[in-house]
Structure 1
């Protein structure tokens, strides 16, 4: 009995020792795992800090946006833009692929331009009236052949507006018409490129006009940025009428002035033209679009 008791005590003590050893090993393994996790978290934080520092350095350099020299080694393109020819080919391919959407849109634009701008002038209406009266006389006299000529003349007058300059109302209508068609085209192109094949042209007219005011504000900013070019043209016309450019020294001064003004205007306009496309996104303010562009 004593031997069996001693054996049971020894077995219990050995099992307890094994349990203690296994628990100790498990604790060490857990500690090592925690250390490894902490090291991984530290490495991730360091990588995130390094990325933030790189972004800050790139923002501080502001390549090609200041008068400081920018080196080629510091310049890193975030996106690779295709060339103009490839972009033009992509546009034509998309137009011919989805011609059932873009062709009616083009016809609507041409029709609205003809009837809202070409047929609004008083001279145009007078020419149309004269052609209609002459056609009625020819038909009454039996000259049916002149009806076709009168029809072609009438169509030419309406489509060209009589080749006269547009008045203020026609200019406003033309700007609004171009802006609406521009927004609808961008809306349709964005959804078609995103793979939404079920979109229709009417969806563009119903949903694309929300950034109309923002687009007009960006257009106003573009007009203000083009003022240096307008001033240069006005000064050039005045200099021609007053023979200011006859002397070489004054001509050199005007050339330097014109170069600076045109360069400044082109520098400002280079990003604002892209802002017209950026501002078409819903919920985007005009100044934010200009900063992004």
Structure 2
């Protein structure tokens, strides 16, 4: 019995040591594999041969046209998705306040009467209203319930759009309801990726807090201090953009069957090596295209609404601009989700390996 009791602790220690050794070896192997796929090293000059990768993409305008043509080809399905998204938005969140819009228009008309004249004045007021509602919206401060509904609806429409495009481009015959019923499976993994993106936005948050503090203290009045602040703020914004670029594609990758969030983030990071700046410019162009399209759609609507309201004040009670703004937001969200997915497909098709 004493011999047995002495051997048991030794056996347990050996097993524990073997498990620890195996775990350390696995971690070391994973780190080496990760570093092997990342040619850049901190404080070390990267050679172009180590990170140069091909990325054959259509032009900026041509690719945006391809995205629009793809949605138009399956317009029945995506129009149905947009209708469902808009209906749920109206029921759960609501549309912008018409009173807020009228107050904004009245304020700009009164304060801008000496700045703008004639048709240019109407165009100037419409442009300022568009800038105001684009930056702050017409809903005021949303409640906690509305914020939750916004996130849930956004995730569901994103997942549904990706699911539908994946099956439609694969030649499968699907309906919009199939996407609504089946696309929500990876929602927990998607939420985890979104939380990672929120963490990646911390540098931007620090820049915003720093701007508020510097503005209140008069630091931005000029001089070397202001220059240093803007340089630091620009670095923080670039850091967030650098991190977020791969996370956009991780949102697509995590929808694959059997995919886990950390693995999706690693796979997305591998796709970015040697291509990050070019992909970031594509995403930036997508955002600019949405802003330009919003101006093309909303500014004429606002001008017409202002003119008709001046002729018939009763028209001011009809929420034309808030409804158009909400519908445009729905279309822009579906289009941007399709843009990200199709850009991901283009990158996957160009299966160039990193130079090692």
TM-score using structure 1 length: 0.61
- How many residues are paired up? 200
**How far 1:104 moved relative to its partner?**
0.5
Provide Cα deviations, 1:57-96, integer angstroms capped at 9, x if missing partner: 9963734575543333444536534443333222211111
1:165 maps to 141
Q: For residues 84-95 of structure 1, what are the structure 2 equivalents within 5 Å?
A: 84-95=60-71
**How far 1:273 moved relative to its partner?**
1.4
**How far 1:226 moved relative to its partner?**
0.4
1:292 maps to 267
Q: Point out 4+ residue stretches in structure 1 off by more than 2 angstroms.
A: 56-87, 161-165, 244-247
Alignment partner of 1:224 out of 169, 194, 199: 199
Cα distance in 2 between the residues matched to 1:209 and 1:270: 23
CA contact (8 A) 1:61 1:70 kept: no
**How far 1:210 moved relative to its partner?**
0.6
SS in 2 for 1:287: helix
Structure 1: segments with no counterpart, 5+ residues: 1-55, 125-160
Cα distance in 2 between the residues matched to 1:270 and 1:227: 15
CA contact (8 A) 1:117 1:174 kept: yes
Cα distance in 2 between the residues matched to 1:168 and 1:72: 49
**How far 1:249 moved relative to its partner?**
2.8
SS in 2 for 1:265: helix
Structure 2: segments with no counterpart, 5+ residues: 1-31, 101-136, 269-356
**How far 1:175 moved relative to its partner?**
0.7
CA contact (8 A) 2:96 2:138 kept: no
Cα RMSD of the aligned pairs, angstroms, is 2.9
* Bigger Rg over Cα: 1
1:20 maps to none
Quick one: structure 1 residues 205 and 256, their matched pair in 2 at CA, closer, same or farther if it must change by over 3 Å? same
* More relative contact order, 1 or 2 (CA 8 Å, 6+ apart): 2
SS in 2 for 1:166: coil
2:152 maps to 176
2:209 maps to 234
TM-score using structure 2 length: 0.51
Cα distance in 2 between the residues matched to 1:262 and 1:162: 27
2:47 maps to 71
Cα distance in 2 between the residues matched to 1:59 and 1:267: 18
